[in-house]
Amino acid sequence: MKKCHLALEVTHWVTPELDLPLYCEFTYNTQDPLVVTVVLDTQGVRPVTWILSRDLLNEGMTAAVGTGEVVLWPLIDHDGESSSFCLRVGGVRTALFEIPSEPVAAWLARAYDMVPRGAELDGVDWNELLQLAE
């Protein structure tokens, strides 16, 4: 089992006029190769954990993706570049976070080096899983 972590400061947009810095951590674990765990407000009293698709996170850095409780989209600056992306999570009550793209992209590259896209289920013993389901 291999893991890679990324801890960084992100912006929590409480309202369009009020933003608060907070720390979050991204974790990738080869034991669960399809997902990324995001813990928001890691230094707070009540950190919140979200489980995201690794591919959804990757795609959300360059295009609007997701529906329902997890939506991501890039923020384009005046030069047409994207130096950050947004993550909106929640159902009835939502929270919006702005996350710098560069460190997340570098971290995701390491995660894809660990388990390449398309190889996530290569080691699954489907017969064992079928036996457990019976």
pLDDT in tens, 72-113: 999 988 888 889 999 999 988 899 999 999 999 999 999 999
Quick one: tokens of 34?
A: 């399809």
- 3-133 CATH, one of 3.40.980.10, 3.40.190.10, 3.30.420.10, 2.30.31.20: 2.30.31.20
Q: In which order are the strands placed within the sheet that holds 3-15?
A: 48-53, 35-40, 18-29, 3-15, 94-100, 82-90, 70-76
* CA–CA dist 102, 110 (Å, integer): 13
* CA–CA dist 46, 54 (Å, integer): 24
- Is the confidence at residue 4, as pLDDT, over 70? yes
In the prediction, which pLDDT does 88 show? Answer: 96
In the prediction, which pLDDT does 129 show? Answer: 64
- Is the confidence at residue 44, as pLDDT, over 90? no
Q: Which residue has the higher pLDDT, 120 or 9?
A: 9
Mean pLDDT of the chain: 90
In the prediction, which pLDDT does 116 show? Answer: 87
pTM for the full predicted model: 0.86
Question: Alpha-carbon Rg of the chain, whole angstroms?
Answer: 16
Residue with tokens 């079928």: 130
- Is the confidence at residue 5, as pLDDT, over 90? yes
In the prediction, which pLDDT does 124 show? Answer: 65
